Chains A and B, each alone.
Chain A
């Protein structure tokens, strides 16, 4: 576009200068060249306002149209010559040309590609007829004022040679611009879809969390109402108070999980450097779960020579608890859960193996992301906030360890935790 505009401006300047130098009887030739330039500029403006429709471009295009008409009228003013007749023809052709272009613009706006092509096939010969007839007349005028137009001839020839090249370059630039706009639009669409996906995940999370809150709230509301309204014995009162307490604790745990994760993700959780015996944490957690999970025998294979880790025992307890609770939760059909500790040269390994539904390969990483639970008919019925594994990962990574899962479909899952024996200097300094 810039190329076309620059070409038009330069051409107009050259023509103006040369014609000013020429003698008075070269006015006609001047007029023809002006008409030629105006037509080039008009074509450029038609294209520009087609590709970039705007009020400003429309105004420019109307002005360019008017310049062509003015130029033709100037030629028409040469009364008594054949050029006056030619100018009338040109004015008629130009009126048709403008009409066809508004048709193209309307078809382009309506997205009717076939109509655009059809009209373009009408527009192109019109334009070229005008160009050809002007060129022809220019040659005649030139022959009549040969001596004066020596210089102008060379320049106009150069311009005529350059015009298609400039036009091609301009068109290539336009095409490039169109591609860039199209790609930008595609990128915008992608971002929009990502945001939509995120908001869907959030919506699911809110609905899961609300479900998780409502279940213990039902117990709290129900048992407390019975304590208020029913004639109960002291023993029943105590029992229901115990039930309310259990549900209240469940709510509290849920809230603290959510807050923990928020704190961890904001980098606000601090490491500790107390000696921690991972074996005893595993054994204690297993003992707790055995009371409530009869269908899932918990087998331990603990490395007696396991060195103590440095950290916060609450953090490691949460890791073991979440992994064990996960293993049980996602083995609705029962089955043994094995927890194993081992040491190697520089780290301690903890593995938790279940014989549950397993995890599809493509989900092995995703399950550690916040809000993401595997959504299948089998898991939909299992209640969870989707916070357990993200918490595990946050804690393990806080202690510069790694956690990952492996699974063979239908064979259950294995969660692996590797914790380094020696804290890095930066971590120690953060703990202090």
Chain B
């Protein structure tokens, strides 16, 4: 009898459905190529506005493709003290702005942060520009004491969590999640685990991504980027038969995630509930995704959420507009959702590939769709290929479509896969 009970507890534990805290989202903030705040972004998603352009500087640097997301560089003088700004790299600036917006919505001010141990788990996987500039200065000056006090704090992968935890005086979990293009998604997943288990009540999660040629040169060298330079807004075409590569982009997105109990107790707005997280590793090629790994991540998320495939109303696909990546994801989606055919779109068609930011921003994009009952278009989807033809892809904005539950995929180099499932709170 004892064996039976122990085995039962073990199997319940594996599904993480045993007496664990519910996890809700109480704040969102974003600084993106399609909008500098949540409201602007919502308008862009609804109208199918592209944030992609052409950067002539990349051509001068010998890039095969000068296409990139275009973002306005912020000026934080007056908003942050010098000491707070000096260690912030570009992606840290975006993350700061996004986090201010998210905390405001979550009704969390500095007094609150001084009393409660709020944590931060932020996705980021590079800070290349800062490293390059520091190195160039060293070569010029041949004296490390002339590099300035901010250089080291800007240059590290953990620059965002390091700086934001200092600026906001956070005292909970504090680290950066680096998992390539799945960083932002895994950051939310890890936060979800901490809150489920009761180790944290509130975690600031997100993803940030620098936009500059310093960080993208070697990636461009893989010939992975689209070269449709004559029409930048048409270049990123996930699932389309004539796609020829991704377009790098960036910015930052922050979500405040919290235990349901904590949110109710303090009267925080509850925007949505994270009900499932799945992950896997392909154990295969370092850059070419397979089908089995992503499918496993999808299946694990559904199991973790204790829902069936037919309960998913919308899938925000990872699809980056690469020939093989989109092909394999289409097969993975079809394997699990072939019968139920939910609406599918890749918002990367508008934003470009936000990389370390993407997993977090795409949750925000999907929540905005859920709140306003629309499916943002997978723009530039003009002709399907053999596998995307089997999916129900939203080539245009689908209006008046109720989304109770959505699923968001993020896959990264090294075969790291992450899937999140989010539900509407009625």
The answer to whether A and B interact is no
Interface set of B (CB-CB < 8 Å, partner A): none
